[in-house]
Structure 1
Amino acid sequence: MSMISEVGSSLRKYVFEKLSKTPGWKVLIMDDAATRVLSSCFKMQDITEYGVTLVESLNCKRQKLNMHAIYIMRPRRAEIELLLQDFPESNPTYSAAHVFFLSSCPNDLLNQIIASQAVRRIMNMIQLSVDFIPLESHLYSLEATESAQLYFLPSDIVHDKLSRIDQIAEQLASVCITLQEYPKICYQKTESNLELARLVQVKLDTYKSDNPILGQGSHKDQSLLLIVDRSLDPVTPLLHELTLQAMCYDLLTVEENTIEYSGNRKANVADGDALWKEFRHQHVADVTRALPQRVREFAESKKQFVEFEEANLDNVPSKEDTNKNTVDIRDLSDLIKRMPQYQTESASYAAAYHIVETCMATFKKGVDKLCEIEQVISLKRE
């Protein structure tokens, strides 16, 4: 099971496939949160197949179009106001609206929609339960960047603390619903964790009352949702993480799954890249030992490259001698470039080598010494 594929499947099934039966082109309108969710699962060409001809931001001024509009957004007051502004009593921005909320819509906002002129133009209003960003197959983010304030500042100086914890609970519940899990909830014993756990349980119970099969399935054990906060491990954020992906984010420029390395070079790394997926959470020392052997195996599987094997592969360390890594990365890069019929695999190996080389070059400019000091401090050694 992959977080990205599950979110993509939910959006495809309940939004795009459902509305593809509606004739004519459509405009897709999203708030910032929905844009990040959708971008993690789809490319523009993916959604044009379902009749979407234009994608626009809910927060920007838009021209009037005689077509149906698909709205995907969080059910918050500011976003609801923008939706309603598109459908005054006369001369609406679009001919009809199909509204999809990332999470459940509060009753007061539903009543506001029902009482508005826009209700006559709204053909669908559906809760999707995908209010989180799937980053990897087993990793997601709630983008709750201010959560530290909720946990570690006194309650009397934190504005609207309970409603903000409720928003996080709504997002966590949407993760469970997307994965079709009804977990047992355990939490680190603090006041905020207790409240968060309670709210998640309430939201899951409410959903399960309407969808009793939640969490059920053949050979399915009950899952566990473990809620902890940073006080459980305050040291880790102060240390440099030396797994490959973490080093890239620390030492290189990374934006939207694209890593910039060796000057102008860029590599797109995502779950679709099998080599990156395999190595990204391994310690960089293990990666530098394993990559040459992997290239050797890759080359040996392509029998037509005998000339290179005879000239260069003797320099690649064997499994028994991986510590003597004398291979020149440029030699291995040359091997990869000579395999045009395996362009995707070759590009993946080339990018991996250059990324590791750039990380290690930067690391040796002083970060290595800093890591030693961090270890001494974290272990309280003098």
Structure 2
Amino acid sequence: MNVIQAVKLYVTKMAEESGPGMKVLLLDKQTTSIISMVYSQSEILQKEVYLFERLDAPGSVEPMKHLKCIVFIRPTKDNVGLLCNEIRNPRYGMYYIYFSNIISKTDIKTIAECDEIEVVREVQEFYGDYLAVSPHLFSLNVNGCYQGTRWNPLHLQRSVQGLVAVLLSLKKCPFIRFQAGSDMAKQLAEKVREVVAKEEVLFDFRHSEVAPLLLILDRRFDPITPLLTQWTYQAMVHELLTISNNRVNMSHVPGVSKELREVVLSSEHDDFYAENLYNNYGEIGQTTKELINEFQKKAKSQQKVESIADMKLFIENYPHFKKMSGTVSKHLMIIGELSNLVAKRSLLEVSEVEQEIACQDQHSHHLQRVRALISNQKIRHEEACRLVMLYALKYRRHSSHDISGLVDSLKKRGAPESIYGMVKSVCNFAFQEDNSNVTNLVNQEAVVKITKRFFKDIKGVENVYTQHMPALKDVVEDLIRGRLKEQTYPFLGNAPAGRRVQDIIAFIIGGITYEESLCIHQLNKSSVHGGARIVAGGTAVHSTETFIDEVATAMNYGACRLYN
């Protein structure tokens, strides 16, 4: 199972089915991001696609009847209306229309009625209705899906559509399990099953010996993972610089060149990134040095280089080395900025305490260390608050906890209410009870499981900054081994005859993290799990900032944001 290859295959088919000749690609805002995640512009140019246009930008080009138009859009009401306007007054010679998800027969009829001069040659459904971040990771790019303990209705609809597209693109008709105690997980599971039943012809795939399984979780099952400082390359970049649709905005870096104000980080098109995105902070420095040495060796093998000016001239004269030069420049800049932020924010010191709280049980020691860091003015308000959040999540039921005292310390150091107020919000988010006397959203067994993690023996841990393992790893491992209790994660409808699973799609309502993505990558690579194949996704891929925004929205924290 590979979501990047699934979406790429659709794009390739679109280009090939329209035949030879010059083409324009007509997209909407969402499908522009979907395609850019898996295809570079140079790769699409090789498919004879020479122009890219947005459906919602009418009249942006003059009519060009000699071009074929490939339309790839989401099947929304607005898009259908815009498409009808386009084919009533066509700017291009012929149209090949592909919807990224299931479209109603009524909308197809409407489009057909608008095609008065018969420019439409093809209408199909190609189910690439999600962002393929990595081969095993997908996102719907949806933030703020919670309204208390209920769904934002628009985000529920989008999540159903996204999950259905993932299943269809991977050709899976799964059994469904969901997190007990989460009404949102159960509702999403039911909505997905409704679509599968309604569209049974689309889901009529050849049955495998072991049925695939869709597991739906609620972010409340593990609120700790998104609060921890990350130390692998991909996760660090997202946490400190933000990765948005494979792009990183570096325009804030002093003296940055025009070419590097926005850089692309894609494992599909950047070999260095692909080889190092799961390496930790300490390893990245060494591999970057090796990259520079390799570049210098290749340069010297072609021409003697004795100065920076000679190097610049050499790169200009030998285009073959420009790509490698760009890779070196890009990653040196990123790693340099990461290093600056780690030092400026004292993240090594903060992270050590975070990991201790998450993985050990030493209340007095942890309370003392958190107090000390709060009083350290080198630590930002945001990091100080995260430490208090982790302490509160861990020790809220401890008889000697001092959560209120730590919050008072945040106030005294000058932290605004929008920051220290989030301590209570995060606890309420994680442990909120449903008034209908249903089990806690973080049900009792899940709470026990999370608590056990705090007591986990950490002997032999090589890196104190990466001790923590997300709860998702335990859940998926239990699922693979047939040990995941049905009381905690029940089936929706009938359960399969056997306990064995092979193909697993895990989805986290409220967002997934790159630390969890790393765990899924490691499970896929492991030989001890009987060849299990796992794809994971979420409503979004979170950094600490976006997760706290998600919590603020869920708890009706108004317009206040932790990060300004």
TM bin (shorter chain)? 0.7 to 0.9
Residue 78 of structure 1: how far off its partner (Å): 0.6
String of CA shifts for 1:230-276, please: whole Å, max 9, x gaps: 21122333333233222223333756435646741646432133332
Structure 1 distance, partners of 2:333, 2:276, is: 14
Are positions 1:192 and 2:187 aligned together? no
Residue 172 of structure 1: how far off its partner (Å): 0.8
Residue 185 of structure 1: how far off its partner (Å): 1.9
Q: Is the Cα–Cα contact under 8 Å of residues 98 and 122 in structure 1 kept in the other structure? A: yes
Letter in 1 for 2:287: L
Against the structure 1 CA distance between its residues 215 and 114, is the aligned structure 2 distance closer, same or farther, given a 3 Å change threshold? same
- Equivalence for 2:159: 168
Instruction: Identify unmatched segments of 5+ residues in structure 2.
Output: 301-314, 354-383, 396-401, 403-564
Pairing 1:46-85 to 2, within 5 Å after superposition? 46-62=43-59, 63-67=62-66, 68-85=68-85
Structure 1 distance, partners of 2:10, 2:298, is: 44
Against the structure 1 CA distance between its residues 349 and 223, is the aligned structure 2 distance closer, same or farther, given a 3 Å change threshold? farther
Aligned partner of residue 345 in structure 2, secondary structure = helix
Structure 2 distance, partners of 1:182, 1:344, is: 42
Are positions 1:378 and 2:390 aligned together? yes
Against the structure 1 CA distance between its residues 195 and 154, is the aligned structure 2 distance closer, same or farther, given a 3 Å change threshold? closer
Are positions 1:209 and 2:201 aligned together? yes
Pairing 1:227-266 to 2, within 5 Å after superposition? 227-252=216-241, 256-258=246-248, 260=250, 263-264=255-256, 266=260
Instruction: Identify unmatched segments of 5+ residues in structure 1.
Output: 306-336
With structure 1 as the length reference, what TM-score do the two structures score? 0.73
Pairing 1:36-185 to 2, within 5 Å after superposition? 36-62=33-59, 63-67=62-66, 68-88=68-88, 92-118=90-116, 120-149=118-147, 152=148, 161=153, 164-185=155-176
Structure 1 distance, partners of 2:106, 2:299, is: 69
Structure 2 distance, partners of 1:38, 1:120, is: 27
Are positions 1:361 and 2:340 aligned together? yes
Aligned partner of residue 214 in structure 2, secondary structure = strand
Letter in 2 for 1:82: L
Against the structure 1 CA distance between its residues 136 and 259, is the aligned structure 2 distance closer, same or farther, given a 3 Å change threshold? farther
Residue 227 of structure 1: how far off its partner (Å): 1.1
Are positions 1:12 and 2:2 aligned together? no
String of CA shifts for 1:16-38, please: whole Å, max 9, x gaps: 111125xx533321111111112
Letter in 2 for 1:197: A
Letter in 2 for 1:227: I
Residue 361 of structure 1: how far off its partner (Å): 2.6
Structure 1 distance, partners of 2:210, 2:290, is: 40
Against the structure 1 CA distance between its residues 146 and 107, is the aligned structure 2 distance closer, same or farther, given a 3 Å change threshold? farther
Residue 46 of structure 1: how far off its partner (Å): 3.0
Q: Is the Cα–Cα contact under 8 Å of residues 171 and 203 in structure 2 kept in the other structure? A: no
Are positions 1:270 and 2:266 aligned together? yes
Structure 2 distance, partners of 1:36, 1:304, is: 36
String of CA shifts for 1:197-256, please: whole Å, max 9, x gaps: 12223334455534533564xxx7433322112211223333332332222233337564
Structure 2 distance, partners of 1:2, 1:154, is: 31
With structure 2 as the length reference, what TM-score do the two structures score? 0.51
Supply the RMSD in Å over aligned alpha carbons. Answer: 3.8
Structure 1 distance, partners of 2:172, 2:138, is: 15
Aligned pair partner of 2:287 in 291, 301, 304:
291
Aligned partner of residue 92 in structure 2, secondary structure = coil
Structure 2 distance, partners of 1:347, 1:39, is: 20
Q: Is the Cα–Cα contact under 8 Å of residues 7 and 41 in structure 1 kept in the other structure? A: yes
Structure 1 distance, partners of 2:8, 2:223, is: 34
Structure 2 distance, partners of 1:16, 1:154, is: 41
String of CA shifts for 1:97-148, please: whole Å, max 9, x gaps: 2211000002332343244345843221100011011122222211122423
Residue 345 of structure 1: how far off its partner (Å): 6.2
How many residue pairs align between the two structures? 336
Structure 2 distance, partners of 1:83, 1:184, is: 36
Higher RCO, Cα 8 Å, sep 6+: 2
Letter in 2 for 1:245: Q
Letter in 2 for 1:193: A
Residue 379 of structure 1: how far off its partner (Å): 3.5
Structure 2 distance, partners of 1:209, 1:105, is: 14
Which deviates more, 350-359 or 230-239?
350-359
